[in-house]
Amino acid sequence: MKTKHGEHSNLELEAVIIVIDNYDSFTYNLVQYLGELASEFPIASDIRVFRNDKITLSEIQALNPDAIVISPGPGRPEDAGISLKLIEQLGTNLPILGVCLGHQSIGQVFGGNIVSAPELMHGKTSQVTHTGVGVFQGLENPMIATRYHSLVIDRQTCPEVLEITAWVDDGTIMGVRHRNYPHIQGVQFHPESVLTSSGKQLLRNFLQQLQSYEIS
């Protein structure tokens, strides 16, 4: 992996993953899952969590992170503190995984509308069909995913630049990946939930992909 200065970084010694906490109780479940994968992926040994209104863009840049995870949370993307600005300004050169509200933030940044979901989902499971690319590589298909959300990326206005990588039977978007910057990915469901069948493998895929990622 290249650092922001063009040199190859030592993943075991220098890697930092920043998690943006959108004031959600699931954030530390997500952090725990990532931490449990540190024995396989040393890049997950240094995970730093910041509330969405307690760190600035320049402070994030100063940490020279190798990846950013944007957590679930209440409200809409515009309520998610630094999340939108982070995607807008750092996404082209930094792997980002958005979960739930983080996923919606990715959709909004690139031009999609965020609308009410057909059904309020609170701890419900659904069968999710996916394309098998990005974080979905090698996962069972369909997979069982746990959903906690009342908003979604509107399929009708989802921009062409975002590839729809996962969905449920009614067409609701469950995953996206940027076509030009495939290191920007989002999932609407909660991979950190124990009821999500391949959640840890999805996060393992994200970490695996970091090891081959290079900034252009």
Q: Which domains does the chain have, with CATH numbers?
A: 11-210 (3.40.50.880)
- pLDDT for residue 14: 56
Per-residue pLDDT of the chain (216 residues; tens, 9 = 90+): 333 323 333 334 456 999 999 999 999 999 999 999 999 999 899 999 999 999 999 999 999 999 999 999 999 999 999 999 999 999 999 999 999 999 999 999 999 999 999 888 988 999 999 999 999 999 999 999 999 999 999 999 999 999 999 999 999 999 999 999 999 999 999 999 999 999 999 999 999 999 777 544
Q: The whole model's pTM is what?
A: 0.92
DSSP code string of the chain: -B-TTSSBP-HHHH--EEEEE-S-TTHHHHHHHHHHTTTT-GGGG-EEEEETTS--HHHHHHT--SEEEE---SS-GGGSTTHHHHHHHHGGGS-EEEETHHHHHHHHHTTPPEEEEEEEEEEEEEEEEE-S-GGGTT--SSEEEEEEEEEEE-TTT--TTEEEEEE-TT--EEEEEESS-TTEEEESSBTTSTTSTTHHHHHHHHHHHHTT----
For the chain, the C-alpha Rg in angstroms (whole number) is 16
- pLDDT for residue 213: 74
- pLDDT for residue 189: 98
Catalytically active residues are: 100, 190, 192
- pLDDT for residue 12: 41
- pLDDT for residue 9: 38
- pLDDT for residue 13: 43
Cα–Cα dist 36/41, whole Å: 9
